[in-house]
Chains A and B, each alone.
Chain A
Amino acid sequence: MLRKGIITVILIGFAVMLLQLFLSFNGNEDLNTTALHYAENGIEEVGAANLVTSVVVTYRGLDTLGEVTILFLTAAIIGLFLKLTREEKSEKREVRPTSEILQTAMKVLVPVIFLFGIYVFINGHLTPGGGFQGGAIIASGILLMFLADPNRKISHGLIAVIESISGISFVIIGILGIVLAGGFLDNHILPLGKFGTLLSAGAVPLIYIFVGLKVGSELSNIIYYLNQTQKEKK
């Protein structure tokens, strides 16, 4: 009871704080200076039709690098976990066979899902979507594969290679930005191209492809590792 009481008091206290925060919110009349700059100069400076993409990939590219790193870290930590706890490798689990429908649907859907994922990240600078979204879609395909057959073998090595290569490429593009253009992760290392087309916005699509690949492989890796942890000795 005491615990409940304390928690209630805490929640009420916190609610008071949030209420004060809420009252300080007064809506927006117009874009603030930062957003205004992006709206007015985004096309010229970055050249991506999706302004969110401009912000994510170029203006705040370092954040994106950080967040890719976080996924990478997560995958690595889970991998470390697996290494530390796994006692015997590739022990087959006794699992109930999945239904025919799931297995067939998987075979049909996975290629489509992959294709869709790739489409989403390649067009990240033009349409809603981008590397993270595309990567997540691809990983969902991998998840579907595991759902259909938990003992399925996938080439973990390949995933790891894709993950690392795209990570390294991301960093190299960033460094090229210092060498060839204005700073780390500057997208002007490639011509901006014609606004609104696939080959526009300089390095943005390139980066998003690597981000997409990287996120896709990282999430797949996480799924793979999580699936592997189920094989631990009981």
Chain B
Amino acid sequence: MVAPIYIIAAALGTAFTLGLLHKTGKTLPYVLMTLALGLMTFISLEWLLAFLIDGQKEEIIYTAGFKPPFSISLLMGKMEAVFISIVNTMAFLGSIYMARDLKNKGVNSMLIYLLLIMGLNVVIMTRDIFNLFVFLEVSSIATAGLLLIGGRKNAVSAGLKYLIATGTIAGFLLIGIIFFYYYAGSLSLDDIIASKESWISVGNIALLLVLLSVILELKPFPANGWALDVYQGANPGIGAIISASSATAMVYVLYKMMPLASEAWNYVIIGIGLLSFVASNIAGIKQTNAQRLLGYSSVGQIGLAVAIVGMHQWLGSGLMTILLAMLASHFLAKAGLFWLAGIVNKETTKEWGILRNKPVLLFLMGTFIFALLGFPPFPSFFGKWELIMSLSDLGQYGIVSLILIGSLFEAVYMLRWLGYAIKEDKEEAVNFSIHWEKFLPVGIVATALYAAGYFFGWKSGYSDWYKYMPLAFAAALFLLDFLPVYVKNSITLLGMGWYFFEMYTQYTGLKFVFFIIFIGGGLLIFLAGYYKKGKRVGFYPLAILMYAGLALMLEASNMLEFFFAWEIMTAGSYFLIIRGKKSMTHALNYALFSIGGAFLILAGFGITQAGKDGLSLELLYQVGSMSPYVFILLAIGFMTKTASMGLHIWLPGAHAEAETDVSPMVSAVLLKAGVYGLIITMISLGNQFIGGINIQVVLAWIGVLTALMGNMMAAFQEDAKRLLAYSSIGQLGYVLFGLALMSHLGWLTAISVAINHFLFKAMLFLAIGGVVLRTKTKYMYQMGGLIKKMPITFIVVLIGIITLSGVPPLSGFAGKWLFYNAILEKGWYLQGAVLFFAGVIAFLYCFRLIHTIFLGQLKDEHRKVKEAPFWLLLPQILVIVGIMVLSAFPNSILKPLGEVLYSYFPEGALSWNDQLANSIYGYWDGKMVLYVVVAIFASVFLWALIVTRKSQKVKQFNIVYAAERPFRPETTHFAYNFFAPFKKALGFLVYPGITNFWNRVGQSTMAGADALRKIYNGNGQAYVLHIVLFFIVVYFITAGGF
């Protein structure tokens, strides 16, 4: 073991030697510096390993051979080893990244860099408060100096602001330190802590000065304008070090100082930290400069870390795991993003579209951003999970909600940025070269993120290899991404097929139904994947990511696993959605609603497990007095996925703009994840009342209104895919209503509607997708007469809408029939009437779908349109077979389903007699209905054939048009605004109140963010003012510093 003092000696010795090497060229000094950093890294990692593996005891380093307090001592304990390892490793990687910059700027820049890192090492290890001050100054001054290694505009003014701000802070720190010396007669931190009793009554101001100075070094809101300017003005390599190494080191300093503070201070520190977290993330929303954006995010994340340190008494032994998990995501991802910023070398976030030519870099950027947002499998996911669970145990729900709100705001700007990189239309993708030494560190930190994620997952009890298998499959597909589509599609089908056959025996009951929808449906839709040519870069890993989430969700036995799966699914589907055309904003909306919903679920889980052992999903059965709240949280959370009214605005755009075979994935399959969640919630929590109101009644009404609104909106659409998207909203409204009935028949309905929706929506989206593919337009008024060109598609759509509208004989009718039975049984006649009305409206849009697209005149430009590709048709035909079977033999599914539901709702079950279903209100024989309807249809058809023999064919162009050229040609099309009279009568019902509401929420948040960030007026003097004011305000809030 190399003594830790050699870290300092090596750094200083090398730095002083570098001073001699001004004339020896650039490589030798650079090599020396890297060697020194390497040695420092080696020593720290050696200690870290010794602590982790050999159970090394902590060691005190006495300088000058005397014991403290008479001389300065350093401590090398486990935590110190962890933190200096982080600092040094990041610095070492940073030095590789900045090789060119450092060599360009010469020896001085290298020695400044080295001394910065040395300063941070001492700051972490020292146990002497004056020594802390000295080496803080070393690192502050070095940071100010490094800002000169420009690359960005205005670095010098940022440097001066930084100097003035940190100088002021250091001054306050020094006043505090000298008074501590006066009170305690010692400068040793341990002595001062030990003699706390003797000075605590008079030392409040000194304590305030010291604590707040350390906190101010961590850039708390609002006294952090100087830091933001630094992040913006610094060379990205330096920004990475400030954010990753310096901030991390300072978090540890704060942790080290915490024993000085009295308990009341904890609340102040938590408050400051959370304020920084929330406020910085709000202020970041308006940001367009990439590095400043990272600055806001950094300040926010560190704010959260400060809050966590403040919670040390609550979190106890769990503190370090949580803190390190959060920090690991922060420093790895933040450094990675700063480094990427250097590679991209574009100032505004919108310009990051140039990454599109570099899928690997884009992948890394996605990795970093999702790591920052706390998605699995990254460390912060587990950190956040543990934090929320611990806080829920303590009943600190206020703090939980602040943390989640702040995280949501962070997601807004981070995902918008990612959206720009993936999708912003304006940006021309230009090629640019990447130096390997810049790429290497980025790759390493990304790898480290995954590794750290596994480590913290293991710490949280999420380590079984098979739980990572689906993710590994996605990763493997990522590595195989260079292969052509048909190979990757086959691999995907094989993999998923294997999984399907391996697992389908494992599930029974409702889980089995959803297993078939998720995985079986996935297989079916992937069949369509063969229609694509080329490579389809990035599609397969992301699609598999979503299915991995769905599969893991079914496998989940506890809440952590469930949430893990839920988030994986959200991430995967986000990427699938953003692949569509013009889908940037829709994908962002989707992600924000999903993340918001996920946070509600997280909070619900938190409350559920509070005060109980373990995390099993079974705990949902025994929530106790909090159960109405848990129910509401979970229900709203899952309803963001089912797009119930109020939470639906993301869906139409997301589904309509998605690729041909992605639309069915995100519609037919993905929406059912929300249904699954709702089912779990309702099964385990049952009927819930809040303030005397039955929540299920409210949900039922939401379902009814969703159905009505969705169907009406669908009827008024001109865009065929959007029509289908709105129709999904409506159908999911039925499902929600059925579930809310909380009866056997209600659930049977809901689940059969869900199954039907899966079938016909997959079919319709593929069919309409095929039409869009061939006609190159989504607008129905630009289509017409396609029946002759695309007859198979026509039949598919026809069967689809028959199923959808619930008329006999197809399986949709079973849903309807059950529905009215269920409603009658419950006695909710008003809701039933509205639903019936909504069902009528469904006919309207179904009619449009078949009439406008396939009937009428063929458009001139569509004369050469061909039938949809075989691979798109194949799954549709398979679905038709399925629908036929279900229609003819309804008991094949409804009967077993009824048996499953019997265990939850024994009353009111159907009684079956072959295909004859009996309820108390009547009976229904699926097979007989099918025969009857087919017979009627056949006879009418025959009759029509006979009577229309004499009919004359009308040529297309025997119409005389008026000589006027319309300003908007589509307005003269008969199918444009087809339901204008209905719109006139009922349009007020679809007044976009909800969209407006969310727009207004968005706008006012933006306005708030803009107002908030105005305090950072760029004036260095104002920043000092903020700092001094910060002291005074806290002084008065704490009534004289406790």
Contact = CB atoms under 8 A, between A and B. Distances in A.
Interface of A: 6-7, 10, 13-14, 16-17, 20-21, 24-25, 32-35, 37-38, 45, 58-63, 65-67, 69-70, 72-74, 76-77, 79-81, 83-84, 157, 160-161, 163-165, 167-168, 170-172, 174-175, 177-178, 181-188
A33 B16 contact: no
Contacts of B106: 80, 83
B203 A24 contact: yes
Contacts of A175: 6, 9
Contacts of B66: 45, 59, 182-183
Given A60-B71, A80-B109, A184-B9, A163 B19 contact: yes
A69 to B, nearest CB: 6
A183 B108 contact: no
B148 A84 contact: yes
A77 B64 contact: no
Contacts of A7: 1025
A61 B19 contact: no
A137 B138 CA distance: 24
Interface in B92-133: 105-106, 108-109, 111-112, 115, 118-119, 122, 130-131
B216 to A, nearest CB: 15
A60 B70 CA distance: 8
Given A60-B72, A174-B9, A185-B63, 7 more contacts: A21-B175, A34-B187, A63-B130, A65-B12, A80-B105, A157-B23, A167-B15
Nearest to A83: B106
B22 interface: yes
Given A72-B16, A74-B141, A13 B1035 contact: yes
Contacts of B869: none
B3 interface: yes
B193 to A, nearest CB: 15
Interface stretch (B245-253, B432-440, B1026-1034): B1026-1034
Interface of B: 3, 5-6, 8-9, 12-13, 15-20, 22-23, 61-66, 69-72, 105-106, 108-109, 111-112, 115, 118-119, 122, 130-131, 134-135, 137-138, 141-142, 144-145, 148-150, 175, 179, 182-183, 185-187, 202-206, 208, 1025, 1028-1029, 1031-1032, 1035-1036, 1040
Given A66-B134, A73-B115, A83 B108 contact: yes
A177 to B, nearest CB: 7
A228 B13 CA distance: 27
B1028 A165 contact: no
A77 B135 contact: no
B64 A182 contact: yes
Given A24-B179, A72-B16, A14 B71 contact: no
Given A167-B16, A167-B19, A183 B61 contact: yes
Given A14-B1028, A183-B63, A34 B145 contact: no
Contacts of A10: 1025, 1028-1029, 1032
A80 B108 contact: yes
A8 to B, nearest CB: 12
A172 to B, nearest CB: 7
A33 B144 CA distance: 38
A164 B175 CA distance: 33
A14 B16 contact: no
Contacts of A35: 185
B131 A66 contact: yes
B1031 A14 contact: yes
Contacts of B137: 66, 70
B145 A76 contact: yes
B16 A77 contact: no
Contacts of B1035: 13, 16-17
A24 to B, nearest CB: 4
11 contacts: A24-B202, A59-B71, A60-B71, A63-B72, A69-B118, A72-B19, A72-B115, A83-B108, A84-B148, A160-B22, A183-B61
A28 B19 CA distance: 45
Nearest to A81: B148
A76 B145 CA distance: 9
B772 to A, nearest CB: 57
B631 to A, nearest CB: 49
A194 to B, nearest CB: 21
Nearest to B186: A34
A65 B137 CA distance: 13
A-B CB proximity, top 7 nearest: A182-B65, A32-B185, A167-B16, A77-B145, A164-B19, A13-B1032, A186-B65
A79 B112 CA distance: 11
A50 B149 CA distance: 43
Given A10-B1028, A84-B105, A171 B16 contact: yes
Contact of B12 (A80, A171, A178, A183): A171
Contacts of B8: 62, 65, 184
Given A183-B61, A183-B62, A160 B20 contact: yes
Contacts of A188: 65
Contacts of A168: 13, 16-17
A232 B141 CA distance: 24
A199 to B, nearest CB: 20
A168 to B, nearest CB: 5
Contacts of B182: 25
A183 B111 CA distance: 25
Contacts of B6: 175
Contacts of B183: 24
Nearest to A38: B70
B346 to A, nearest CB: 23
A67 B16 contact: no
Contacts of A76: 19, 108, 111-112, 145
A102 to B, nearest CB: 32
A16 B1032 CA distance: 9
A185 B71 CA distance: 11
B139 to A, nearest CB: 10
Nearest to A46: B64
Contacts of A38: 70
Contacts of B206: 21, 24
A83 B1028 contact: no
Contacts of A20: 204-205, 1040
Contacts of B134: 63, 66-67, 70
A205 B105 CA distance: 37
B149 to A, nearest CB: 8
Given A58-B64, A62-B131, A80 B145 contact: yes
